[in-house]
Amino acid sequence: MKSGRIDINIKGDVTRKLQKDEGFTLIEVMIAISIFAVGLLAVAAMQTSAIRVNSTAGQITDRTTLAQDKLEELMGLSYSDPWLEAAGNPPGQDSALHTHQETPDNYVISWTVNNNTPVSGTKLITVTVTARGKTTRLVSVKSQSL
């Protein structure tokens, strides 16, 4: 750091020498560090929030993908397939003794089938995927081929 002297002439005959220090005082440094620490805490809080939101988005994506896969599988079956019988809706069993429910990993995939809904000759298929207390539902209508 540089140091310089400034001569000040007061009332013409008294000369005082003042020392001018270049640099920062301890208080200035402490204030700068405090502001920097507050900024770091804000960034850390933002990072924690971003991680939590990304985890939630991943879970939603997983549930939606499982529901779409099951719905596509069911839509590809024939109209009279046992997997599309309303009798198999949980907790019942269809004519092939299936319950419309699967439990891969930590997920519960179930589906319900309503005959002649919303119009005659159609089946309303609702696929529900549940995991970690959250639920995703997808609905589709399958028509009877003529």
| Cα within 13 Å of Cα(32), Cβ side | 6
Residue 6 has pLDDT above 70, yes or no: no
Distance CA 97, CA 102 (A): 14
Domains in the chain, number: 1
| pTM (global) more than 0.75 | no
Tell whether omega for the bond before 90 is within 30 degrees of 0, i.e. cis. no
The label of the residue with tokens 């003794």 reads 97
pLDDT tens-digit profile of 21-79? 677 889 999 999 999 999 999 999 999 999 999 999 999 999 999 999 999 999 999 99
Give the number of other Cβ atoms within 10 Å of residue 15's Cβ: 9
Complete DSSP assignment for the chain: --EEEEEEEETTTEEEEEEEE-S--HHHHHHHHHHHHHHHHHHHHHHHHHHHHHHHHHHHHHHHHHHHHHHHHHHTS-TT-GGG-GGGSTT---TTS--SEE--TT-EEEEEEEET-SSTTEEEEEEEEEETTEEEEEEEEEEPP-
pLDDT of residue 20: 59
Q: What is the pLDDT of residues 92-129, one digit of tens each?
A: 888 889 889 999 989 999 999 999 989 999 999 999 99
Domain membership of residue 107 as a residue range: 3-143
pLDDT of the residue at 14: 46
Taking a C-beta distance cutoff of 8 angstroms, is the pair 100, 90 a contact?
A: yes
Backbone angles phi, psi at 94, to 5 degrees: -85, -175
